[in-house]
Chain A
């Protein structure tokens, strides 16, 4: 199994670290092993690397270095934004209110649920497959006192881009703050903090050919947040624990390259995505491209496929050498329902979700082969008698 040649179509799940990242991290681990808090040469050297990485992340996003809080992944960044903001409010005697969209990642959705369980309020704004985010409902939610709006930039399951700029402007006008989970956005669409008035933004390394377990929360005003971990003063006390210097270097390297290559890479991926989609729709006009009426990031193609069992389809694709995914992968590896697809199309939607996500490993001349492989697998699965 290990040596099977795969066509990797799951870049939204994770990406292979690129050579530049591996080299930068290896050098850092070998040469800059000190603890950045130590008062000696190796410590100072590690501190310098860490702060260079912080500046690198800030530069890539047109943010201030002082706003960059290194965390250990996207989930941690989202949790710190939502729970950290809510607990700061609660500490000031204010009932925290979190406003999210209906298509957030569980890292935001369940953190908001946690806020509600701790006595706060969680309001969900619907997203319509034709009309997009319901901005009127957002305004209504914001009219009732200050809140944290969490609006993801690019949805991980469907690939739709949400109107983060508008959400952030409305939040700001209403005296509220805005967080965005930009984990799937960086490197795929322009993410520039001097142009978009969000207050908090999450990125992670492993979706952009960087290291797993790395990420950053960009916070315009870190004073808005309470810590959610305890035990040290690192990262302004908001992420205590000895810093992962090599991870920070890897993240900065990956982010810098992803942003530099974004325009060309996005154009390339969009052509691949649309090529595969067009061929599959020609194969079966019953295939739905999820979120097609809305603006979408170029790397994710979410399909609604009629009459195909999700688990069997993914197994068939795997045996044919295609690594794809269904809905949100449950830890078991069974294809759970895609919660964002359900949010858009309802829970009684009959179509099976198949997510193909493209990246550096995908080449333009793969389009035909991918489309044929998917169509063949679907036909095979459909041919089995349904009990």
Chain B
């Protein structure tokens, strides 16, 4: 082949990154597998339990050996703790719902891969994300959503430094998950039928509350009791800490109400969780900060698509102010459900990822009771 490269591929030990590595090998590249050790769980674990996501590391090593490629483990625990976990805890403390995977991909994983890849003489970096890179006629690399809308993972990658698009390879971008599993089976990779990981890597149990209790003081407002109120301000009950809630959540409010209630807002200053019926969950707009652009930013009044949660369909949006500064306001002409401070907003023009930011505030459909019009 004419374009043989030395490519560093991030292998988590899951089926996607296993197949990504396999496809690069098939394409004739010289491939080096790495697993990032981001977090050590051993403080919670005794003999017989795995440490450092050890099962994943061992699976990645086994796949690399079958593919005939070297495999290394890079310890990024310190950076990961600083850039991802500390932010995760702080955001929950502020009553927001963070995306640690976005933080990791933006700040830790790919930057570190690039840095180390250079030392290892690599000219490309790859991962098993379901996204695509396509070059424009002028040779400029564009980041596109994955071909399979059910698996598209561009939501996690808006924070990449734009210069990195030049060196990135995403071998799975044109494939669907079933196709990836078929490839894994035909290659007899041991990860072919491995279950999808559903939880964030450093809280494998999914019990965020337990994790936050280890990181925050027990007296922290996020872990302290507060009122549950409706849109008129009537106290309906009490909760044990607003860190247990996210916008759009239905569980955990207690039953016995005539209609189903959803979390609409979290007001950390008063530790208040505001609830209301489903039809009030729709936001008319949002303010987004922490912006990162992978393309020319949209102009004022431009109609674009915005994805506000992982796996949710992008919603039509209008850019209200030129996205020149550090934040941008967007309007959802047809509404957007459960717009949640702390989550990412990813700006799309068709399939192309323009960039993104963090949702700072949502604007609800109708003003409720003056002070409750925004969540911060």
Contacts and interface: CB of A to CB of B under 8 A. Distances in A.
Contacts of A330: 51-52
A387 B79 contact: yes
Tell me the dominant secondary structure on chain B's binding face. mixed
Given A331-B51, A334-B37, A334-B74, A1 B119 contact: no
Contact of A332 (B51, B69, B116, B121): B51
6 contacts: A2-B68, A315-B70, A319-B32, A381-B119, A383-B119, A387-B111
Contacts of B75: 310-311, 334-336
A341 to B, nearest CB: 16
Interface in B74-126: 74-75, 79, 111-112, 115-116, 118-121
A333 interface: yes
Contact of B120 (A2, A315, A336, A387): A315
Interface core residue of B69, B74, B75, B119 (most chain A CB under 10 Å): B119
A318 interface: yes
B65 interface: yes
Contacts of A2: 68
A380 interface: yes
Interface of A: 1-2, 309-312, 314-316, 318-319, 330-336, 380-381, 383-387
Interface of B: 32, 34-35, 37, 51-52, 54, 57, 61, 65, 68-70, 72-75, 79, 111-112, 115-116, 118-121
Given A332-B37, A384-B119, 8 more contacts: A311-B74, A311-B75, A312-B74, A315-B120, A319-B121, A331-B52, A384-B118, A387-B112
A1 B115 contact: no
Nearest to B74: A311
Nearest to A2: B68
A33 B118 CA distance: 54
Contacts of A334: 37, 52, 73-75
B70 A385 contact: no
B361 to A, nearest CB: 31
B112 A380 contact: no
A318 B72 contact: yes
Nearest to A379: B119
B118 A332 contact: no
A109 to B, nearest CB: 16
Nearest to B50: A331
Nearest to A381: B119
A261 B52 CA distance: 41
B160 to A, nearest CB: 15
Contacts of B73: 311, 332-334
B70 A319 contact: yes
A274 to B, nearest CB: 29
A352 to B, nearest CB: 12
A316 B8 CA distance: 13
Contacts of B115: 384-387
Nearest to A335: B75
B54 A332 contact: yes
A380 B254 CA distance: 60
Contacts of B116: 309, 311-312, 315, 384
Nearest to A333: B73
Contacts of A318: 70, 72
Given A311-B75, A334-B37, A1 B69 contact: yes
Given A330-B52, A380-B119, A385-B115, A315 B72 contact: yes
User: What 9 A-B pairs have minimum CB-CB distances, sorted nearest first?
Assistant: A334-B73, A315-B72, A384-B119, A334-B75, A333-B73, A332-B52, A311-B74, A312-B116, A381-B119
Contacts of B121: 319, 380
Contacts of B69: 1
B314 to A, nearest CB: 32
B68 A333 contact: no
A386 B119 CA distance: 11
A333 B73 CA distance: 6
Nearest to B108: A387
Contacts of B120: 312, 315-316, 319
A61 to B, nearest CB: 33
Contacts of A319: 32, 70, 120-121
B80 to A, nearest CB: 12
Given A1-B68, A319-B32, A387-B79, A333 B119 contact: no
Contacts of A333: 57, 61, 72-73
A334 B78 CA distance: 13
A311 B70 CA distance: 13
Contacts of B61: 333
